[in-house]
Amino acid sequence: MKKIINIFAAFIFLIVIVLGVWSTFAMQTVSFESTILMAKNKLKGDLESFKYMLSQEYGELQLVDDKLTDQHGNSIKYQYQIIDKISKELDIAATIFVKENDDYRRIATSIIDSSGKRGVDTFLGSQSAAFAFVLAGEEYIGNAVILGNNYLTVYHPLFQPGTDEVIGSLFLGINMKAIEEIIAHGEQSQLIRIAIVALSILLFLFYFLNHFTKLDTRTMIAEESNKAKSKFLATVSHEIRTPMNAILGITEIQLQDKTISAATREAFNKIYNSGNMLLGIINDILDLSRIEMDKMELNPIKYEIASLINDIVHLNIIRNSKPIEFSLKVDENTPATLLGDELRIKQILNNLLSNAYKYTERGNVILYIYTEAATEDDSAMLVFCISDTGQGMTAEQVKRLFTTEYTRFNLEANRTIEGIGLGLNITWRLIKLMNGAISVESEPNMGTSFIVRLPQKVIDSKAIGKEVAENLQNFRIISSANINSAQIMREYMPYGKILIVDDVDSNLYVAKGLMTPYGLSIDTVSSGFEAIEKIKAGNVYDIVFMDHMMPKMDGMEAAKIIRDMGYKSPIIVLTANAVVGQSKIFLENGFDEFIPKPIDIRQLNAVLNKFVRNKQPPEAIEEARRQKRSMAKSIPHDIAPELDALLSVFLLDIKKNLPIIESVLGNIENVSDEELQLFTVGVHAMKSAFANIGKTASSDLAFALEKATRARDKNAIKSMAPILIDELQNMAKEIEAKKQQIESDVDEDRDYLCKQLKTICQACESYDKKTIKNALKSLKDLSWKRDTQDLIDKIDEHILYSDFEEARKLAENVST
């Protein structure tokens, strides 16, 4: 009773304070809001006037051969007379943008700086708050600082005549100086009243803390729990992302090869679509903290319902290994194009279908999709019905499904079923976030039916039609949208210079393969020490891509040392450790950007555009485009890697880490902390390398050994390390045997070999590591017999540890 009285008293006191605050700021707020409203109304009026005056001069704007032109086909680039006239007449700042690849370039503006220059040939950029709205064909109103003055701004999309294709944008801004003066005056006249309110708030806080100190203990417990959960999520995220980096990265590289057959391309498309969808789902499940704190945000986009259904159906059919018949029913009247959060909808459907398969041993699973009329004209209620003939649930179990607790039933019977019971809880929360509803009908041993209703905006009232519905139901549809990354316009950047740092050779292989089509000059090194040497030697790169977890010196340490040397150019971390808050830690430790593994080619493309292309003058960009056009119609695609090449890289990983693992095992009782740390990194590298080539069981063994090492469990190390060593030795033998089979076909260029080895000998005498590395790189680009390749690898290893004398002896023996 006393607690209730205290809460009631606090509530009354809070109301009094709120009324005081409201009375204090009422006049100021009304003045501010009315001024803002007037400014927005003026801005909208100015926009209509601007569009009208622009059409009077140019007629209907259109995009022709990537140029914004008037109705007669004349380019309006750098045409300032009319835009200056309109801006002066309306007392506004104005700019015209044209869509160029994945960005928007300023081609005309009335904004002139103090030196008399206009801000043209620069880009809007994806980092701008307006970018996503313009890209989606929507209007955006916000604020911007232009030449030191605050402006209320509007971005208005331009469309290709007769289509919904966004070809550019109009920008208008009006000076907000008058509003700032009104606000400043209001603040000065209210100082005393604000002080009174502040005192009242302090009294309330004292009262609150005095009566609810018990919350402190609960908060401390919750914080400790969150720390433990964050550590768990960081570990799981890293372990899942490492193999996904290879799956998606190598698929991306293969898809760049225009010479592969249609059947092979379709297979890679399916691998990529399935892997990318799984990655999206993994990201959401691992980000439980956002869901539990109700901080999950929706990302509505335009999507095709046929493509969504196709992706979900094919993924679940592939995963089904039970005697279960799957049936799909799609209403032909379902709208073809909708607006909603496609990824979240896929996650909901995937969770429900996955559960249906998990808890059904035989029988059938049915997915029925249709729409119901909604209250708004441009909306529809998208309905999914998922039914199965599985275990079913009791009425009591159904009631416990959608609560804040994570629940699994029949644990003894379901002990072999994968998962930790988060799927339905996440599904329920996502549906609530979308203002949707979910209902369940179930009977024990008879099966379960879930019905989901999600309100969606209808972009196009045209229905999918009978033919598409039948093709979906017969599983004949291939997603109408190509892989997003394949649609990216890769800017040719021969002026760019990149350094990639990673201790796992197969990871270097993937990253370099993804960047090769850009025509960049790419250096690769396998440690933070080598990266530092590169910078010490005077190399300046447009971007240094730095792996996070490396032996002896991790990415953060390397970045700090490089920054302390005065290096200012961008350093971007590549890591599989991607959870909430991690990016902030990287940015606070010398990095400019954060790219999680697996590398998303869209994010990589945006980073390359931002830090390489956008820093070049317009004439350099245009010259690069001319070079590309003068070459063959596309960049040569024989650079696409094959599995044989990846196996060769894996062999290097084995040779690098196997001696470390064997050495520590032989001295496990007296091993030092430093040696054990090297052992951990080596096992971690082998786990990633096995995952890269699809050896899941071996990767799992390495992961188990890594966990035992971190726990300092020497008994577990002694039992598992010999098995891993056998795996590595056998794998090395298999790769060596494969190399021997093809060795007879290799025609060595002995003259070229001797020439490069002589260069290496001379460079070793002067400790010229740069020349040595260049010579070794030129040799590695060619095919050699096994003994020759071993020689090159040994020289490379000696140079890695700056053992110039041994490297010189090896090179000299062959060159002479």
CA angle 431, 436, 439 (to 5 degrees): 85
d(CA 602, CA 705): 35
pLDDT, mean of residues 114-123: 80
Task: Take residue 572 and report the two structure tokens written for it.
Answer: 């971007």
Average pLDDT across the chain, whole number = 75
Q: What pLDDT sits at residue 399?
A: 82
Residue the block writes with tokens 């004398």: 805
**Alpha-carbon gap, residue 243 to 257, rounded angstroms:** 22
Beta-bridge mates of residue 595: 574
Closest CA to 313 of 469, 483, 482: 469
User: Token pair for residue 86?
Assistant: 């309109």
Report pLDDT digits (tens) over 418-451: 444 556 777 888 888 889 999 999 988 899 999 9
126-130 average pLDDT score: 77
Phi then psi for residue 109, to 5 deg, are -155, 150
- Determine contact, residues 368/384, Cβ cutoff 8 Å: yes
Q: What is the pLDDT of residue 368?
A: 94
For residue 619, give both structure tokens: 């004439």
pLDDT per position as a tens digit, 212-240: 555 555 556 666 666 566 556 555 655 66
Question: How far are the Cα atoms of 24, 36, 202 from residue 188, in angstroms, in the given order?
Answer: 13, 20, 22
Rounded to an integer, the average pLDDT of 584-596 is 80
pLDDT tens, position by position, 472-494 = 777 644 333 333 333 466 788 98
**Between 196 and 638, whose confidence is greater?**
196
Alpha-carbon distance of 101 to 105, in angstroms, equals 10
Residue among 705, 713, 716, 711 nearest 682 (CA): 705
For residue range 308-329, list pLDDT tens digits in order. 887 777 666 655 667 788 888 9
Least confident of 46-60, 351-365, 483-497, 701-715: 483-497
- Residues contacting residue 361 through CB under 8 Å, at least 6 positions apart: 322, 323, 390
The answer to whether 285 and 351 are in contact (CB under 8 A) is: no
Q: What is the pLDDT of residues 616-662, one digit of tens each?
A: 888 888 888 887 776 644 333 333 334 455 666 777 778 778 888 88
Inter-CA distances, 439 with 130, 313, 367, 400, Å: 38, 22, 15, 13
**What pLDDT, on a 0 to 100 scale, did the predictor assign at position 491?**
84
pLDDT above 70 (res 776)? yes
Alpha-carbon span 811 to 776, nearest angstrom: 11
pLDDT of 363 higher than 60: yes
Q: What share of the chain is helix, strand, coil (3-state, %, to 5)?
A: 55, 15, 30
What six digits make up the tokens of 299? 């990302």
Q: What is the mean pLDDT of residues 48-57?
A: 77
Residue 179 pLDDT > 80: no
Q: Is the per-residue pLDDT at 712 higher than 60?
A: yes
State how far the Cα of 607 lies from the Cα of 613, in Å rounded to an integer: 9
Q: Quote the pLDDT of residue 531.
A: 92
Classify residue 549 as left (phi > 0), alpha (psi -120 to 50) or beta: beta
Would you give the distance in Å from CA 185 to the centre of its chain?
46
